[in-house]
């Protein structure tokens, strides 16, 4: 029985609140805090109505203001924070956790607002301070990073003596009926998918132009979809933690219509993060674009189809070549029915809750700053299907890659 503080009341925050409240035996008291308190209040009302959990408080908080965060944490005294606001707030929330003596978990690595670049170095730099404080910070516990990292840890533990080739494949075959929308925070999403492609090969990073490498990949229950190599944050920690990997790539599906919109957005300067003066006011084009695009948390109403995300791995077991595929498919409709939001928020929020459950029940323990693949994958995967994301695996199949 523990107190937990969820920071962020977007699509993912909504799912985390629902899933924590479904497990009152672990999350006995919940505080949902975010920039706009009214959004927390709506979620808290819906969650209490749906789950019967009676102990959910809300608060307005600026998660970039460390003293304000520390004050709220000291007042509520949570055992841990589940941070599902934006990656810009990772460091301020980690800093506040250290000052208030609270464990930390997030789903996306830090990225500065003024440079579209994400990497773990800023958060890994907190290693000694979390160790000295006897606290644990778990990084990247959504789906990707998160479940994909745990899938890779399972492959290493149970299926291979040496993993050589890792391909993480991420397909969203859903249809929300909008001409253009992003499935999570538009600003973060557009920064991620417009950057250069990058993958790991033979001990170094290989950089490509955006979307330069593509291939048809067949996804279970979905069929073939054009998939593109993009850089994704878990590659950085996975090649460090599994040094036998000769190559590690991340593939994501994009429809032609989506890519055309993205190209236009870039060509007309709307993806820029450089402020421009408009009628005497500084406006960041990408932030303005976010304000006019559909809210990802509200895409769920007419969202049909599924996501399919998994890891395809080649390596050696008992001196023989082996292939392995592990994945989850998630239905947007089922996610919406349960939590009032779409599958991408659901596949991120469920693992965030489960990672927190692992920490609070002592299955994942220790001190310092750790990525999820550093923990025992077994208790997490034993629960993942039960909490809403069933997974499947196949060995010695044609991986297509
Ligand atoms: P949303 O934009 O829907 O929600 C973000 C929330 O954070 C909003 O409630 C927002 O408040 C709040 N927020 C923003 N700035 C502050 C601040 N300074 N102080 C307090 N609260 C703040 O995002 P999503 O729910 O779609 O995504 C949440 C996180 O999940 C992101 O970090 C994203 O990168 C990550 N993610 C991870 C994935 C994974 O698989 N690992 C996949 C998808 C997302 P307000 O409502 O006032 O704007």
Over residues 237-246, the mean pLDDT reads 98
Could you tell me which of 220, 199, 264 has the C-alpha nearest to residue 400?
Answer: 220
Distance between Cα 343 and ligand 1 center (Å): 15
Query: Would you state the pLDDT for residue 66?
Result: 98
Query: Would you state the pLDDT for residue 172?
Result: 96
Pairing of strands 281-283, 276-278: antiparallel
More confident: 218 or 190:
218
| Interhelix angle 11-21/37-51, nearest 10 degrees | 30
For 323, the 3-state DSSP assignment is strand
Query: Does the pLDDT of residue 74 top 80, yes or no?
Result: yes
The reply to whether ligand 1 has any atom less than 6 angstroms from the CB of 39 is yes
* pLDDT tens profile 151-187: 999 999 999 999 999 999 999 999 999 989 998 888 8
Query: Would you state the pLDDT for residue 82?
Result: 98
- pLDDT band of residue 117 (cuts 50, 70, 90) is confident
The reply to whether ligand 1 has any atom less than 6 angstroms from the CB of 41 is no
pTM for this predicted structure:
0.96
The reply to whether ligand 1 has any atom less than 6 angstroms from the CB of 86 is yes
The reply to whether ligand 1 has any atom less than 6 angstroms from the CB of 3 is no
The reply to whether ligand 1 has any atom less than 6 angstroms from the CB of 84 is yes
* pLDDT tens profile 339-383: 999 999 999 999 999 999 999 999 999 999 999 999 999 999 999
What does DSSP assign to residue 175?
B
Mean pLDDT of the chain: 96
* pLDDT tens profile 257-296: 999 999 899 999 999 999 999 999 999 999 999 999 998 8
Over residues 209-219, the mean pLDDT reads 96
Query: Does the pLDDT of residue 225 top 90, yes or no?
Result: yes
Could you tell me which of 75, 245, 276 has the C-alpha nearest to residue 149?
Answer: 245
Query: Does the pLDDT of residue 116 top 80, yes or no?
Result: no
Over residues 209-220, the mean pLDDT reads 96
* pLDDT tens profile 2-22: 999 999 999 999 999 999 999
By the 8 A CB rule, do 371 and 166 touch? no
Query: Does the pLDDT of residue 100 top 90, yes or no?
Result: yes
- pLDDT band of residue 188 (cuts 50, 70, 90) is confident
Query: Would you state the pLDDT for residue 114?
Result: 85
Query: Does the pLDDT of residue 122 top 80, yes or no?
Result: yes
- Index of the ligand 1 atom closest to the CA of residue 62: 19
Domains defined along the chain, listed by start? 2-139 (3.40.50.720), 147-335+386-395 (3.30.360.10)
- Index of the ligand 1 atom closest to the CA of residue 144: 40
Query: Would you state the pLDDT for residue 1?
Result: 87
| Best residue for ligand 1 mutational test, from 172, 184, 294 (most atoms within 8 Å of Cβ) | 184
CA–CA dist 382, 397 (Å, integer): 24
CA–CA dist 178, 191 (Å, integer): 20
Query: Would you state the pLDDT for residue 282?
Result: 96
Over residues 111-124, the mean pLDDT reads 90
By the 8 A CB rule, do 359 and 365 touch? yes
The reply to whether ligand 1 has any atom less than 6 angstroms from the CB of 102 is no
Over residues 131-142, the mean pLDDT reads 98
- pLDDT band of residue 193 (cuts 50, 70, 90) is confident
CA–CA dist 26, 291 (Å, integer): 37
Query: Would you state the pLDDT for residue 95?
Result: 98
The reply to whether ligand 1 has any atom less than 6 angstroms from the CB of 300 is no
Which residues have C-beta within 8 Å of that of residue 1, sequence separation ≥ 6? 25, 26, 28
Per-residue tokens: 71:
């004050």
What percent of the chain clears pLDDT 90, i.e. is strictly above it? 91
Per-residue tokens: 166:
């890792």
């Amino acid at each position: 029985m523990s107190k937990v503080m969820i920071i962020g009341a977007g699509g993912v925050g909504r799912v985390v609140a629902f899933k924590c409240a479904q497990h009152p035996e672990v999350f006995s008291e919940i505080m949902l805090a975010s920039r706009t308190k009214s959004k927390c209040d709506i979620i808290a009302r819906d969650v209490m109505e749906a789950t019967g959990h009676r102990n959910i408080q809300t608060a307005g908080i600026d998660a970039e203001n460390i003293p304000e965060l520390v004050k709220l944490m000291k007042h509520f005294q949570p055992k841990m924070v589940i941070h599902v606001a934006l990656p810009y707030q990772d460091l301020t929330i980690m800093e506040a956790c250290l000052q208030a003596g609270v464990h930390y978990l997030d789903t996306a690595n830090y990225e500065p607002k003024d440079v579209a670049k994400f990497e773990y170095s800023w958060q890994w730099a907190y290693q000694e301070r979390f160790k000295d404080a006897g606290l644990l910070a778990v990084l990247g516990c959504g789906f990707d990073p998160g479940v994909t990292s745990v899938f890779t840890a399972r492959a290493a533990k149970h299926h291979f003596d040496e993993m050589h080739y890792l391909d993480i494949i991420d397909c969203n075959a859903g249809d929300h009926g909008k001409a253009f929308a992003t499935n999570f925070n538009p600003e973060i999403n557009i920064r991620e998918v417009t950057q250069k492609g990058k993958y790991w090969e033979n001990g170094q990073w290989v950089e490509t132009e955006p979307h330069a490498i593509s291939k048809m990949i067949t996804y279970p229950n979905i069929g073939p979809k054009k998939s593109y190599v993009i850089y994704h944050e878990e590659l950085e920690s996975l090649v460090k933690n599994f040094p036998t990997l000769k190559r590690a790539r991340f593939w994501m599906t994009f429809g032609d219509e989506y890519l055309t919109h993205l190209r236009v957005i870039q060509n007309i300067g709307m993806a820029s993060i450089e402020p421009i003066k408009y009628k005497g006011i500084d406006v960041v084009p990408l932030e303005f674009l976010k304000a006019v695009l559909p809210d990802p948390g509200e895409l769920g109403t007419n969202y049909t189809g599924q996501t399919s995300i998994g890891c395809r791995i080649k390596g050696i077991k008992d001196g023989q070549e082996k292939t392995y595929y592990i994945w989850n498919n998630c239905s947007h409709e089922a996610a919406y029915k349960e939590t009032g939001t779409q599958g991408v928020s659901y596949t991120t929020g469920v693992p965030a809750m489960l990672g927190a459950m692992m920490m609070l029940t002592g299955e994942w323990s220790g001190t310092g700053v750790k990525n999820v693949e550093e923990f025992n994958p077994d208790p997490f995967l034993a629960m993942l299907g039960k909490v809403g994301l069933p997974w499947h695996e196949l060995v010695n199949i044609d991986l297509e890659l």
